[in-house]
Amino acid sequence: MTFSHREIIPARPSVQYMEMAFIICHMYGMELRHIRYFLAVAEERNFTRAAARLGIGQPPLSSQIKDLEAEIGTLLFHRVAHGAELTEAGQAFLDGVAPLPGQVAAAVRAARRAARGEIGQLSIGLTGTAALNPIVPAAIRSFGRTYPDVELRVEEASSLTLLDNLVEGRLDVAILRPAASDPEGVREESLAEEPLVVALPAAHPAARGKGALDLATLRDDALILTPRSVGTSLHDAALAACRAAGFEPRLGQPAPQIASILSLVSAELGISLVPESMGGLNVHGVAFRSIRAPTPRIGLAVVYRRNRPPPLALNFAKVARDTARGRV
């Protein structure tokens, strides 16, 4: 079965066609240099002018074209007195290879942009409490405006899940609450230190007070926390705050996410210690009170793989740092 060149060459060559073209060139021993020489002669219709345009001698150019014709197995040009004319085979070859130099140039530009972290897909992981800090949406918004050709994919999970995904390469970058137990395979860059506040049932006597609250006055209330296996940093920070206030807290029912924590607080099953930015949720039945100095704090960090992080992740980390500096 035979096909004409117009049947096998699409009007707008795709990536698959580009791959096919390079494979064919490799199979036949061709180089892009041969294609460039051929195109120069085809456009100039003259070997001497084409050689001058290419910056080489006319005899070496003629020799290269003859080599190309030998590889293809047919004449591409008629040598005539006034220059060169394409044969029918030459015109068919021209139709097929004319897009290649432009597409190669575009591929080079795309490769360089990818190396600079300007194109591609970036997967971002967030914990529930990190997502509610104003720095996070501002950083994502700023990154999207700075790098409009990058496709963003955002997912929410626990800090331990996000860290596992980062180490295993299933995630590019994350914003989470760092902990001393985080793996060595990631690099964490601090964005902020956020105060912890007390989340109380709205009917709790301490909810009606003003000013900062002495945490020790809540020693008899059940403390609702995320399990340590889900949120290490917030769990440990809350316990440390209670111990610094002089008491060992009585743990209440655990809750896996910030939304479920506040729901249990609203149901009057206990109190909790949460990052200050959670106060913006305005949950019905929940009041927030600041804690008397020394105020406990919890970190917020942008995290990525220590070993060969993607350029996109490094760009996002820089945008997140710049955003945090502008807001803190």
Q: What is the mean pLDDT of residues 93-114?
A: 80
Q: Using one digit for the tens of pLDDT, what is the confidence trace for 131-163?
A: 999 999 999 999 999 999 899 999 999 999 999
Using 50, 70 and 90 to split pLDDT, how confident is the model at 208? confident
In total, how many domains does the chain have?
3
Q: Is residue 304 domain-shared with residue 257, that is, in the same domain? A: no
Please identify, among 112, 142, 168, the residue that sits at the C-terminal boundary of a domain.
112
Write the CATH number for 305.
3.40.190.10
- pLDDT at residue number 168: 93
Residues 211 and 270 in one domain: yes
Let me know whether 35 and 99 are in one domain: yes
The amino acid present at 92, given as its one-letter code, is A
According to DSSP, the β-strands at 222-223 and 150-156 are unpaired
Q: Say if residue 317's pLDDT is above 50.
A: yes
Q: 9 pLDDT exceeds 70?
A: no
Three-state SS string over 25-83 comes to HHHCCCCHHHHHHHHHHHHHCCHHHHHHHHCCCHHHHHHHHHHHHHHHCCCCEEEECCE
Q: Are residues 176 and 229 in the same domain?
A: no
Residue 282 has pLDDT above 90, yes or no: no
Residue with more model confidence, 86 or 4: 86
- For residue 30, what pLDDT is reported? 61
What's the whole-number average pLDDT of the chain?
Answer: 86
* pLDDT attached to residue 16: 45
- pLDDT confidence of residue 15: 45
pLDDT(18) > 70: no
Give the residue among 327, 318, 311 at the shortest CA–CA distance from 111: 311
Is the same domain home to 162 and 279? no
% the chain with pLDDT above 70: 90
Query: What's the one-letter identity of residue 48?
Result: T
Can you give the length of the chain in residues?
Answer: 328
The answer to whether residues 207 and 256 belong to one domain is: yes
b/e per residue 127-166 (b: at least 16 CB within 10 A): bbbbbbbebbebbbebbeeebeebeeeeeebbbbbbbebb
pLDDT at site 8: 31
Cα distances (Å, whole numbers) of residue 22 to 6, 17, 325: 18, 9, 48
23 against 189, higher pLDDT: 189
Same domain (yes/no): 185, 282 = no
Of 320, 57, 82, 304, the closest CA to residue 188 belongs to 304
pLDDT at 114: 75
Query: Is the peptide bond prior to 60 cis by the omega test (within 30 degrees of 0)?
Result: no
Per-residue exposure over 212-250, b if at least 16 CB sit within 10 Å of its own CB, e if not: ebebeebeebbbbbbebebbbbbbbbbbebbeebeeebe
- Domain match, 265 and 290 both: yes
pLDDT of residue 29 exceeding 50, the answer is: no
Residue burial 190-209, b: 16+ Cβ < 10 Å; e: rest: ebbebebbbbbbeebebbee
Q: Which residues contact 24 (CB under 8 A, 6 or more apart)?
A: 30
What integer pLDDT is reported at residue 237 of this predicted model?
94
pLDDT higher than threshold 50 for residue 6: no
From the centroid of its chain, how far is CA 18?
27
Confidence (pLDDT) at 2: 31
Three-point CA angle 299, 127, 255, nearest 5°: 100
Residues 267 and 211 in one domain: yes
Q: Domain check: are 81 and 228 in the same one?
A: no
Q: Are residues 304 and 263 part of one domain?
A: no
The model's confidence at residue 3, banded by pLDDT at 50, 70 and 90, is very low
CA distances from 7 to 15, 55, 93, 103 (A): 17, 35, 13, 20
Statement to judge: residues 174 and 251 lie in one domain? no
Residue 254 pLDDT > 70, yes or no? Answer: yes
pLDDT digits (tens, 9 = 90+) for 286-299: 999 999 988 999 99
| Domain carrying residue 107 | 5-112
What pTM was estimated for this model as a whole? Answer: 0.71
Neighbours of 321 (CB within 10 A): 16
Q: Token pair of 222, please? A: 């059940």
Q: What is the DSSP string of 296-324?
A: PEEEEEEEEESSS--HHHHHHHHHHHHHH
The token pair at 226 is 């995320």
CA distance 261 to 197: 14
| Residues above pLDDT 90, as percent of the chain | 61
pLDDT value for 24 = 45
User: Model confidence over 78-89: pLDDT tens digits?
Assistant: 988 888 999 999
- Per-residue pLDDT of 166-189, as tens digits, reads 999 999 999 999 988 889 999 999
